[in-house]
Structure 1
Amino acid sequence: MSTMTSLATLDGDGVFDCYVAEPEATPKAAIIVIQEIFGVNAGIRRKCDRWAEAGYLALAPDLFWRLEPQVQLDPDIPNEFARALELMNQLDQDTAIADIEAVIRAARGGKSGLPKTAKVGCVGYCLGGRLAFMTACRTDIDASVGYYGVGIDGLIADAKAISRPVLLHVPTADHFVGKDAQAAMHAGLDDHPKVTLYDYDGLDHGFATEFGKRRDDAGATLADRRTAEFFAEQLA
């Protein structure tokens, strides 16, 4: 079952939409699906639906709500891709982390009619991959996964605050995350006891999208299997 619900911000200054997909039985745990720069579009909603099919409560907050509520963009359409870049550049990422923390608290507390879950993980893509890493650094989320997160090499110093498991998927031909950035991620994170990085040789940014030209079926299947195994262990 899927629906849209409204959740309050941490400081109570507003409410934002959140796509919610619930499993048929009691959820194993909750997983927050953090959007790409394209909003909570069909691909992100499908990610949530898949987690619900696997027995999790899945939630995708609209992180662009202060800029353009309910925006949904297609990366394969040039003018929509350009608009997505504009929204990304306008986003206050600190505020986005606060909104993600509000979702964590809502899931754990059973707020807004959500089933209460003891453990909460997050998985993010592109911008969401960066925000998933930031969430691991700044909140008490139980487990975090980032796919092709942009700019994580500039956040390495924050990794000292990570106390719970993190998994990062790194495509080696990512045209948004170059070789130097990838090398910095490995140099700064490979020895971290809570962080695991997987490289995907020859794959590009967006390889695990549900729909569109960017998807690589083999790479997406492998990365998604690793993510499922990670959550099965860390959110049990």
Structure 2
Amino acid sequence: MTTLVVGASGATGRLLVRQLLAQGQKVKIIVRCVDSLPDTLKQNDHLMITQASLLEMTDAELLEQVKGCNAVVSCLGHNLTFKGMFGHPKRLVTGAVQRLCNAIEKTAPAAPVKFILMNTSGNQNKRAGEKVSTAQFIIVSLIRFLLPPHADNELAAEYLQSNFGAKQKVIEWVAVRPDSLIDHELVTQYDAYASPVRSAIFDAGKTSRINVAHFMSELIIHGEIWNKWKHQMPLIYNGQ
């Protein structure tokens, strides 16, 4: 089994790569700077590294990256700097998801490819009938208008929902929505829910990045877990 991970040099993507390699999986990554990776990763024989900017790669180059992959994971996100939040590309995540999915379609895979998108608890899954309070609706609307990365996350999930329903057989997807992200060295107890059990604005919980990485690796490796969550947007919270 081979998984392509984009955003692999980020805080969560790096943890996912480590967990997949630790379980004997083959992993391909696209990173803009190889130097940002620790030597323990770069020296792993099961890891294939491509140094490039994903949005600048040609269609043919992207097709080669996704060819033969059973799963593709986007852990991409905007840097928390002024340029990262408001500079170009404002649709980094959406653009990457669209290009990767187009490349997957062109490979005409014999079995559906798993696509996992790391998203956010602030993204309301309206298609699943999720409701939020009026106050939260107003605040999220302001965030959407003022902070381009939030709109980007919403559009990326919407693209998967709109284009890859249960009837097509090319791509199956899961959009993983962690709550407020924190760092922790070890995997701990966590819970996954189909819809929010707390307000992302007024009662936000905590989610360890390593727990998010663990959940995504479980989705990739275990078919029964994937079948439970495919075409959904599960929320991940650390256990109490």
Shorter-chain TM-score tier = 0.3 to 0.5
Larger Rg: 2
So what's the TM-score if we normalise by structure 2? 0.41
Q: Which gives a bigger RCO, structure 1 or 2 (Cα 8 Å, sep 6+)? A: 2
So what's the TM-score if we normalise by structure 1? 0.41
